[in-house]
Amino acid sequence: MSIIQSPVLFQHHGEDIYLFTLKNRNGVEVGISNFGTIIRSFIVPDRSGNPVDIVLGFDRMEHYLDQSYIESNSYLGAIVGRYANRISNSSFELDSKQYQLSSNHPPHQLHGGYEGFDRKVWKLESASCNPDPILILSYLSKDGEEGFPGNLTVQVSFELTDTNELIIKTEATTDKATPVNLTHHGYFNLNGSGTIEDHLVEIPASFYLGQHKDMVPNGEILAVKGTLYDFRSVAKISDVWNLDIGYDQSFILDKEYGEWGKAAMAYSESSGIKLEVFTDEPTVQFYTGQHLNNSGGKGGTSYSSYCGLCFEAQHHTNAVNIPEFPSTILRPGELYSRQTSYKVSNS
């Protein structure tokens, strides 16, 4: 097991950009950059022992700065924030004060604004093997950034274990009350290429969030039974979905609030690779990448609809505007602390 830091790849806003590679004893490798905390690669053995990179991304980190990629709103492999998903009308009220946010997905804000955490240079806090390879990165989101109040200090740790589990721990503190809802926005393809419609999926959730046509939750909590959203038993995506729209839906997990438990499972019969997602978050956003439109992917490939799927563990989307949902407000003196893990295996 090891953790390897690359030479400086380039500079962004005067800051050095690196790639850190975490390796365990089983041939699993995870490449993470301090630019956007992007997981650029996640290499695992298939059932025959051949290495497969199961996440979408680019061979060169500079490509994440291309204007065409930025305008695609893909967020490949990044930690997104200060607030994941959509905030309706790019505004919210907190302690009797109305806040207007940047509106990068008019009229709403998406994944933190025009330049969210996915496009920031994060500070290296440590990179060590004690005993597992652990990378810790931090970022200070200043008061007023993208319209959010408070200086928010965020720290994310990535740990790769010898049980083939990548554990992501996120902590944050603030000096003013502010909404916080972070998630990892990795796109997985357990075949390594092609589409994900043949993947088997399981999501232990009896309810999902109702939403408007513009994908913003409307406060309704709906039962999955008898719908296209019932993944309580393992199902092949292509057997249940509407191909024209795919999935971009938030599921309420069947576990107690704050409890650690399974959020999702995906399996490829072709490669034999299984991905299990665990979290202490209450929901998971299942997205099948229907809006992907990125050229210049790894090996020169292009990413189009359904080339990858996301399991974004987080709090209820748009909770800052729906009082009935669990609060996403962090106040001074409190610690925001969340954990999600991605465990891989093969058979």
Tens of pLDDT, residue by residue, the chain (347 residues):
789 999 999 999 999 999 999 999 999 999 999 999 999 999 999 999 999 999 999 999 999 999 999 999 999 999 999 999 999 999 999 999 999 999 999 999 999 999 999 999 999 999 999 789 999 999 999 999 999 999 999 999 999 999 999 999 999 999 999 999 999 999 999 999 999 999 999 999 999 999 998 889 999 999 999 999 999 999 999 999 999 999 999 999 999 999 999 999 999 999 999 999 999 999 999 999 999 999 989 999 999 999 999 999 999 999 999 999 999 999 999 999 999 999 999 98
Distance CA 209, CA 279 (A): 18
In the block, residue with structure tokens 């990413």: 303
The pLDDT of residue 130 is 79
| DSSP one-letter code for 86 | E
Q: 63 an active-site residue?
A: no
Q: Which of 145, 312, 315, 316 is catalytic?
A: 312
Strand partners, 179: 329
Instruction: Say which CATH number the domain at 102 has.
Output: 2.70.98.10
Amino acid at 66: D
Is the residue at 276 inside a domain?
no
Q: Show the tokens assigned to 288.
A: 């099948």
Do residues 189 and 217 make contact, with C-beta atoms less than 8 angstroms apart?
A: no
Is the residue at 102 inside a domain?
yes
The pLDDT of residue 273 is 98
Q: Which of 185, 199, 315, 316 is catalytic?
A: 185
Q: 171 an active-site residue?
A: no
Is the residue at 264 inside a domain?
no
The pLDDT of residue 1 is 78
| Nearest to 309, CA basis, from 249, 239, 234, 261 | 249
Is the residue at 255 inside a domain?
no
| Nearest to 280, CA basis, from 326, 224, 231 | 326
The pLDDT of residue 275 is 98
Provide the domain count of the chain. 1
Distance CA 219, CA 217 (A): 6
| DSSP one-letter code for 35 | B
Range of the structural domain that residue 18 is part of: 2-192+282-346
Distance CA 297, CA 280 (A): 32
Is the residue at 63 inside a domain?
yes
Is the residue at 182 inside a domain?
yes
Is the residue at 240 inside a domain?
no
